[in-house]
Amino acid sequence: MARILGNLVFGFVLLVAMGQALADFNFYRDMVCYWGPRNLAVWNNGTNLALNLNNASGCGIKTRKQFMFGSVEMQIKLVQGNSAGTVTTYYVSSTGDKHDEIDFEFLGNVSGQPYIVHTNIWARGRIINRWSAYIIYRGRWLIDSIPIRLFRNYQKYGVAYPNQQAMKAYSSIWNGDSWATQGGRVKIDWKRAPFAARYQQVNLRTCPWDSQGSTSQCSANNPANWWTAPAYSRLNYAQQGQLMWVRNKYMIYDYCRDSKRFKGAMPPECSLPLY
């Protein structure tokens, strides 16, 4: 997932095959477990890990350092088999009452059925009510480098935008069977517990933030700050085609098409260019 100066481009990596992790990541150095430590497993000298869910607790991890801009990449093997009721999340967030947040929520399903992924955006402590949902087929669809959503910076039109606060990256697995699968109609089958989400090839290419001075340093337009290059502020023609392909083939909910929800008063960005 990339947090970019101009626009927010959502991407994700989902692989079945678990290979060699990147050598420059170490969980013990770079991340910490903030919830459910008994349900965390780490192996291969800190390069591979798993978050587990049972009827006692889920599990959550986060980066030790905050950052401004860059990318946080990881390969996640989602819960296999009947994953109904489980929610695996992958997001970046600041802290405080007026926090910013960019979410991926993977909603489990019954055996043989695809996952559904929600993307949500928070800015200044409130959800912008701008979530979209997509179907993904477990273990078959690679989203690596393919944009599945673009949220443009339209602050000049009064649209809140999460680009002012330092964030940490988080991931978690938890019990969402009150709402996650078919509106909560399908519950978790605890006889199949524990449910595991496995992680490898975590790559933190971010600009560390430790004070307000870091903001100007991280946003400076220079070769070291690769995220300031024009290629990362817009989609090229090929990426635009990929995005439209994803939207046409896999999107199952788009708030900009939900006139009933907004009673005809659609959010301002819905009438502005998508790219």
User: d(Cα 121, Cα 33) in Å, to the nearest integer?
Assistant: 24
Is the CB of residue 71 less than 8 Å from the CB of residue 227?
yes
Distance CA 170, CA 68 (A): 15
Instruction: Phi first, then psi: give them for residue 120, nearest 5 degrees.
Output: -125, 155
Spatial distance between the Cα atoms of 142 and 2, rounded to a whole number of angstroms: 16
The active-site residue, picked from 73, 100, 101, 103, is 101
**73-92: buried (b, 16+ CB within 10 Å) or exposed (e) per residue?**
bbbbbbbeebbbbbbbbbbb
- Based on the residue annotation, tell me whether 101 is a catalytic residue of this protein: yes
Which of the residues 105, 136, 188, 232 is marked catalytic? 105
CA-to-CA distance for 221 and 5, rounded, in angstroms?
Answer: 11
Judged on CB neighbours under 10 Å (0-12, 13-18, 19+), 21 is buried
Catalytic positions are 101, 105
